[in-house]
Amino acid sequence: LGLLGYFKYFNFLAQALSGLLGRAWNPWDVILPVGCSFYTFQALSYVIDVYRGNLPAERHFGYYALYICFFPQLVAGPIERAGDLLPQLRQARRPGRSDLRQGLRLLLSGFFRKVVIADFCGRFVDVGYAAERPDGSAVLAGTLLFALQIYCDFSGYSEIAAGSARLLGVRLMRNFDRPYLSRSLREFWRRWHISLSRWFTDYLYIPLGGSRRGLGRQLAATLAVFAVSGLWHGADWAFVVWGLLHGGYLALELLG
C-alpha cells in the first residue's frame, strides 16, 4: 500500500498541498507504473488470505511471481484470488479443443467490444465534450455513448484477458455480468467489475463491520468503501466525489 500510495498519489497530494500553501510545491513528478493498482490489490489479497489462515503460503517463489505477474490480467484485471489462480498455475496442463474454442471466442468478442464499439463511440464522446459551447442534446448523447464506451472498453479488455488465459488452459473469473440490466444500484455493483467489488467486500467492507453490527455501521462502512473505491479509480477529487455519490445512493437504498 505504501508503494501504491507513493506512485499513484504523490502528485495528487503535492497538488493538494500546493493549494493549501498558496504556492506550487512538487519536488518531482512521479510516473505511475502500468497496472500498479491491480497487481497491488492482487498481492494484498494473497497476504491477507495467508494471514487469516484461509490459504497456505506459496513456498515456491516462481509460482508466486507468476500469480502476481500473470500477463493476461496484469494491466487491468480481473483481480484474481490466489486460491483460484495459484492451483491452476501449479498444475501442468495442455489446453484442449474446448479451451482453444472458448479462448478464441472470448478474444473475438473482447476485441469487437473494445476496438469496434468502444473506439467508435469514443469519437463522438470526445467531440461532444470538447465543444466550446456544447448543445444540451449533444452532451446527453455523448453521456449515453460514454456509458456504452466505458462498458465495452473495460468488459472487452476483461474478455481479451480471459481469452488469452484460456488459450493457456487457465480460467479467469467473469468480471462483468450485464450490469446495465440491473434493477438497483446495489445489484449494479455486483455485476460491474465483479472482482473489485468482491475485493472491497471481503477485505474492507466486512472488516469494517458490514451488515453485522447495525444499520449505522453498515452505512458508514458503505460510504468508506466507496470513498476508497473512488480514490482507487483515480488520484483526483472528482473520483472521491464520484465514490461518495455512489456510496450515498447505496445508503439511501439501504434506508429505503
Q: Give the residue numbers annotated as catalytic, written as ranges.
A: 233
SS3 128: helix
Q: What are phi and psi of 217, to 5 degrees?
A: -65, -35
Q: Are 176 and 147 in contact (CB under 8 A)?
A: no
Contact 82, 55 (CB under 8 A): yes
Q: Which residues contact 41 (CB under 8 A, 6 or more apart)?
A: 79, 196, 199
Name which of 10, 84, 8, 74 is nearest 45 in CA terms.
84
What is the C-alpha end-to-end distance of the chain, expressed in Å?
A: 36
C-alpha cell at 140: 446527453
Question: What contacts 216, CB < 8 A, 6 or more positions away?
Answer: none
Cis peptide before 78 (omega within 30 of 0): yes
What totals of helices (H) and strands (E) does the chain contain, helices first? 11, 0
Sign of CA dihedral 157, 159, 162, 168: negative
